[in-house]
Amino acid sequence: MSTSNTLKTRLRNVNYIPDDTLVMALQLSIDLQRPLLLEGEAGVGKTEIARALASVLDTRLIRLQCYEGLDANQAIYEWNYQRQLLAIKARERETVSADVIEDQIFSETYLMKRPLLEAISQPVSPVLLIDEIDRSDEEFEAYLLEILSDYQISIPELGTIQAQSIPHVVLTSNGTRELSDALRRRCLYTYVEFPSPEREMEIVLARLPNIEDQLVGQIVRFVQELRKEDLEKVPGIAETLDWAAALAGLKLTSLADDVPTLCTSLICLLKTAADQKSISQEVASRLAGKAA
């Protein structure tokens, strides 16, 4: 209890306002040394959590962005083949035995560490962020399983590399693909919701301290109402922050004051053509009225 409370304050100190469930999840994942799988809508701050955790623990953040077709060469390690070939060529005239050359070209100098190998070869536990794991394919998930359960990587030419320190692993997923049960079972799971109005207000104030409280209240209530509308792409926290910064720049003091300006500034929140069409001036002024 006390430890998770301190974690909460420390997260606040680095400008990340977490909710209690999330703090507990991070604490558990640190205590049990298990990866934490975060799911939730785009824009609820999943990636940001890893960043905040890294600065709280005062350690490196190593990020692996997943995409379709990501394979072991790009995620774990690769030999620097060009350099190896050059090294072989350069020594052709020397009388060095083949064994020596071989030892040299398959040494760490010629090894290109990709994020996963990088993460387990740090002397101090880093935070390893595996972002949007659902974008990678099933084969890559299988690679991950070995690393996440044993924290070791086998390189045929060098042998098995044991983790120097166990990284704090955070995986995020937007749910575009169902993840395998095997991967889920190795992780602690948390579903991240959109923040409550109070928390969102705190977040905006933490990031943009120069805005008046009253306007922040209106902004947050407006966005919360907007999320209930039938939208294709629901605005996330980053959008709220953009919008708040935009409104502060426009020197607006109250949303309902200047509806045309309000509507033009909505481009910060509404990211598809259909959404922009569906939130007309009338809808915007109705929402602004509710938020006032």
Partner 1 sequence: MTRISIELQAPLIKRLLGFVDHLRLNGFQIGSKETRDVAKLLATSRLSSLPNARIQLKILLSGNHSEWMRFDDLFEAYWSAHGRERPSNQTKSTPQNASVNIVHGLWESHFSADQPEQDGSDDRHLPPLDGDRSEGSQGKLFASPQHYSIRTDFRKFVDPAEIAEAEQLAYRLAKAMRNRLSRRYRKSTRGSRLDFRKTLRANQCHGGEPLTLIKKRKPDRPVRIVVFLDVSGSMNTYSRFFLQFVKGLVCAWIQTDVYLFHTKLIRVTDTLRDSNAVKAMTQLSLITDGFGGGTKLGQCLDQFNRLYAKHALTSRSVILIFSDGYDTGTADHLANQLARLQRRAARLVWLNPMLGWRDYQPITAAMAAAMPHIDHFACANSIATLAAIEPELARL
Is residue 69 near partner 1 by the rule CB under 8 A?
Answer: yes
Point out which span in 10-18, 161-169, 173-181, 282-290 binds partner 1 (CB under 8 A): 173-181
Q: Whole-number minimum distance, CB 92 to partner 1, in Å?
A: 9
Which parts of 171-256 fold into alpha helices (H)? 181-186, 197-207, 213-228, 237-249
Q: Whole-number minimum distance, CB 274 to partner 1, in Å?
A: 8
Do the beta carbons of residue 57 and residue 170 sit within 8 Å?
no
Q: Whole-number minimum distance, CB 118 to partner 1, in Å?
A: 19
Q: Which is nearer to partner 1, 124 or 182 (CB)?
A: 182
CA distance 48 to 198: 19
Is residue 73 near partner 1 by the rule CB under 8 A?
Answer: yes
Count Cα neighbours of 173 within 13 Å in the Cβ-side half-sphere: 22
Point out which span in 51-59, 64-72, 216-224, 237-245 binds partner 1 (CB under 8 A): 64-72
CA distance 149 to 151: 6
Q: Which of 86, 124, 139, 146 binds partner 1 (CB under 8 A)?
A: 139
Q: Map tokens 């306007």 to a residue.
A: 215
Residue type, 124: V
Which parts of the chain fold into alpha helices (H)? 2-13, 20-32, 46-57, 72-75, 81-90, 98-105, 115-120, 138-150, 181-186, 197-207, 213-228, 237-249, 259-265, 273-278, 281-291
Point out which span in 44-52, 66-74, 124-132, 212-220 binds partner 1 (CB under 8 A): 66-74
Q: Which of 58, 99, 181, 282 binds partner 1 (CB under 8 A)?
A: 181
In sequence order, the β-bridge partners of residue 172 are 38
- Structure tokens that stand for 99 in this block: 């064994």
Q: Which of 59, 65, 84, 254 binds partner 1 (CB under 8 A)?
A: 84
Do the beta carbons of residue 153 and residue 19 sit within 8 Å?
no
Q: Whole-number minimum distance, CB 266 to partner 1, in Å?
A: 20
Q: Whole-number minimum distance, CB 60 to partner 1, in Å?
A: 25
Q: Map tokens 């923040």 to a residue.
A: 195
x/- string (CB under 8 A) for partner 1, residues 23-62?
-xx--x--xx-x----x-----------------------
Q: Which residues in the 184-243 window bind partner 1 by CB under 8 A?
A: 184-185, 187-191, 232
Chain residues binding partner 1 by CB under 8 A are: 1, 4, 20-21, 24-25, 28, 31-32, 34, 39, 68-69, 71, 73, 78-79, 81-82, 84-85, 88, 137, 139, 174-179, 181, 184-185, 187-191, 232, 274
